[in-house]
């Protein structure tokens, strides 16, 4: 009887240990939180009823996976790949004929060569080219999905003001400093740069799998699980990655941490061009990020913050330049893949720096 009890007890302890090992423990903001080893996927249609699970993943894993209608992804990627092959300067991308603020082309050479086609679904009207149509349609789908994700966060965190930070319909590219966009990144082969670890500026990034997987989460995000190559966790035909950027970190006073991520230089060197199409949901022009109620007083000086403040708001009150904060300070601190706690800005030397240099 005694040995039966011992045996049963040992089995129970073993089961508890297995469960404990199966969960992955993270130290975040002074408390331990657990997420399962395997990321949970939430269907877009269930984002509101299952907001707690979605937010748990986003907060404690650093990213969430949402299952969605990605029927236009394949066609958009194929069209963009074709453009890159036939027209290395993407001179005629066929999305817009004049400067209507729907599309912007840039070639960046540092720290790595990448061509970018920024697309916003602000306009309407049919396009002659079905590939271009699919690309604009994908941008519209990702915009709608990003708003649902933000609604889930706003409801779950009881921060309805998060929704007033974004435009219902994306702003034209020529009307806002850092508008919400779908960015087609077109990488050629022979890449010499490292992963270029960074945080995104906005509230949320919603990223379908690129044409082939090279997007990595920083190794410092130790909740990542089996692979740092996040797109390998996705069903490319229907899953998207969702993660936070600097604006959401500030808007939630670090209840959410930004995901430090980069693109593998080793994989890009394999020679085939790669196309990715992340959607960046950013604060609209005029939006002001206010201090959330739970924000520590030592960080209160970072508020209010804006990328592009409207004249007349908060007159006489200093306002953090969110873009400069992101680009020159907060974003810089993650260049080696580190996750920077916002609490670092409570340090006296950083407070001084921010106060002196980073107010509008
Ligand atoms: O190419 C990718 O998969 C990600 C690109 C990225 O992180 C960005 O454009 O901010
Ligand atoms: Fe990024």
pLDDT tens-place string over residues 271-313? 788 999 999 999 999 999 999 999 999 999 999 999 998 865 5
CB of residue 276 inside a 6 A radius of ligand 1: yes
CB of residue 261 inside a 6 A radius of ligand 1: yes
pLDDT block averages, 10 residues each, the chain of length 360:
43 38 39 72 98 96 95 95 70 59 85 90 70 92 97 97 94 92 90 86 98 89 68 96 97 94 91 93 96 96 92 71 94 78 93 88
Q: List the alpha helices (DSSP H) in 125-169.
A: 130-156
Please give the pLDDT value at position 188. Answer: 85
Ligand 2 centroid–CA 237 distance in Å is 21
Please give the pLDDT value at position 259. Answer: 92
Query: Considering every ligand atom, which ligand is closest to the CA of 241?
Result: 1
Please give the pLDDT value at position 48. Answer: 98
Let me know the angle formed at the C-alpha of 189 by 187 and 192, rounded to the nearest 5 degrees: 95
CB of residue 278 inside a 6 A radius of ligand 1: yes
Q: Which two tokens stand for residue 175?
A: 């009307």
- Mutating to test ligand 1, I would choose from 240, 261, 327 the residue with most ligand atoms within 8 A of its C-beta, which is 261
Residue 258: partners with Cβ closer than 8 Å, 6 or more residues away: 199, 200, 243, 244, 245, 246, 248, 249, 334, 339
**What burial class does residue 287 get, using C-beta atoms within 10 Å of its C-beta: 0-12 exposed, 13-18 middle, 19+ buried?**
buried
Dihedral sign (CA 158, 60, 260, 115): negative
Please give the pLDDT value at position 17. Answer: 35
Predicted complex ipTM: 0.99
CB of residue 51 inside a 6 A radius of ligand 1: no
Give, in words, the CATH class of 39-284: mainly beta
| β-pairing verdict for 279-281 and 181-187 | antiparallel
Please give the pLDDT value at position 98. Answer: 52
CB of residue 185 inside a 6 A radius of ligand 1: yes
CB of residue 257 inside a 6 A radius of ligand 1: no
Cα–Cα nearest to 89, from 194, 20, 188, 224: 188
Ligand 1 atom nearest 274 alpha carbon: 1
- Domains of the chain, residue spans: 1-37, 39-284
| β-pairing verdict for 41-43 and 31-36 | unpaired
């Amino acid at each position: 009887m005694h040995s039966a009890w011992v045996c049963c007890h040992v089995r129970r302890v073993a089961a508890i240990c297995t469960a404990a090992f199966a969960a992955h423990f993270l130290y975040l903001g002074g408390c331990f939180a657990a997420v399962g080893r395997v990321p949970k996927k939430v269907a877009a249609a269930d984002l509101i009823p299952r907001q707690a699970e979605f937010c748990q993943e986003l907060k404690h894993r650093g990213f969430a996976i949402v299952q969605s209608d990605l029927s236009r992804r394949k066609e958009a990627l194929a069209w963009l790949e074709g453009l890159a092959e036939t027209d290395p300067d993407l001179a005629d991308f066929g999305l817009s004929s004049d400067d209507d603020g729907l599309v912007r082309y840039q070639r960046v050479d540092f720290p790595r060569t990448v061509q970018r086609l920024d697309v916003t679904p602000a306009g309407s009207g049919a396009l002659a080219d079905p590939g271009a149509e699919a690309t604009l349609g994908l941008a519209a789908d990702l915009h709608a999905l990003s708003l649902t994700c933000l609604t889930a966060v706003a409801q779950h965190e009881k921060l309805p003001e998060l929704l007033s930070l974004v435009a219902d319909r994306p702003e034209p590219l020529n009307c806002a400093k850092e508008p919400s966009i779908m960015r087609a990144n077109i990488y050629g082969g022979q890449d010499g740069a490292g992963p270029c670890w960074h945080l995104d500026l906005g509230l949320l990034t919603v990223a379908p799998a690129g044409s082939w997987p090279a997007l990595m989460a920083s190794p410092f995000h130790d909740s990542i699980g089996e692979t740092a190559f996040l797109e390998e966790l996705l069903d490319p035909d229907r899953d998207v990655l969702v993660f936070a950027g600097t604006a959401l970190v500030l808007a939630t006073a670090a209840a959410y941490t930004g995901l430090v991520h980069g693109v593998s230089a080793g994989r890009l060197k394999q020679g085939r061009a790669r196309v990715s199409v992340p959607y960046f949901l950013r604060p609209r022009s005029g939006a002001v990020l206010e201090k959330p109620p739970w924000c520590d007083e030592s960080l209160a000086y970072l508020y209010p913050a804006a990328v592009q403040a409207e004249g007349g708001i908060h007159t006489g009150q200093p306002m953090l330049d969110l873009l400069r904060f992101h680009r020159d300070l907060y974003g810089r601190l993650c260049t080696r893949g580190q996750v920077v706690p916002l609490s670092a800005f409570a340090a006296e030397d950083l407070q001084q720096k921010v106060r002196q240099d980073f107010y509008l």
